[in-house]
Amino acid sequence: MEGNARVLRPVAQAIAAGLGLVIAAIDVAAPFGDDSSQFTVFLWVVSSGLFGFAMPQRPWRWAVLIGPILPLTYLVLRVAGLLPRDDRNGYLTYLILVPVSLAVCLVGSYVGAAARRLVMPPSSTPEALGNP
């Protein structure tokens, strides 16, 4: 079982980082106009919550992998000059968004981990602890 977790964890981390990029792409595209920020927060909470539920050990990991990608994407686009000229946000705005995104994703991932522990409490049998 331990060997399976060693393979599954990096795959899940890569998927979480990829999901962070997808959320950033959706926000940059702004499909809902002014309401895109609400949809982005929803995606942050749901995606980090699902990862927190699926792998509740160290739920902060999912917040770190999913949340900061969006503000860092905007920062890179701003530095590269790829944002529209009417963008009024400065560099500081995108840097302030990093702790905000982390906070939102931390809430989602810890709620997901707590829900997992409520639905499927950890077993205290000797087999589950690795003691035969």
pTM: 0.83
pLDDT at 2: 62
Question: Could you tell me the residue range of the domain that residue 67 belongs to?
Answer: 2-120
**pLDDT on residue 124:** 54
- 129 in a domain, yes or no? no
pLDDT value of position 89: 79
115 within domain boundaries: yes
Looking at the structure of the chain, the number of domains it has is 1
- Could you tell me if residue 130 is inside a domain? no
Q: Is residue 125 part of a domain?
A: no
In 3D space, the residue among 59, 66, 63 whose CA is nearest the CA of residue 115 turns out to be 59
Predicted confidence at residue 129, as pLDDT, reads 47
Averaged pLDDT, groups of 10, the chain, 132 residues long: 76 96 91 82 97 94 96 91 77 91 97 95 57 48
User: What dihedral do alpha carbons 38, 18, 26, 68 form, nearest 10°?
Assistant: 50
Position 20 in a domain: yes
Residue 47 falls within a domain, yes or no? yes
Give the per-residue pLDDT at 122.
77
Q: Residue 123 is inside which H or E element, if any?
A: none
pLDDT at position 65: 96
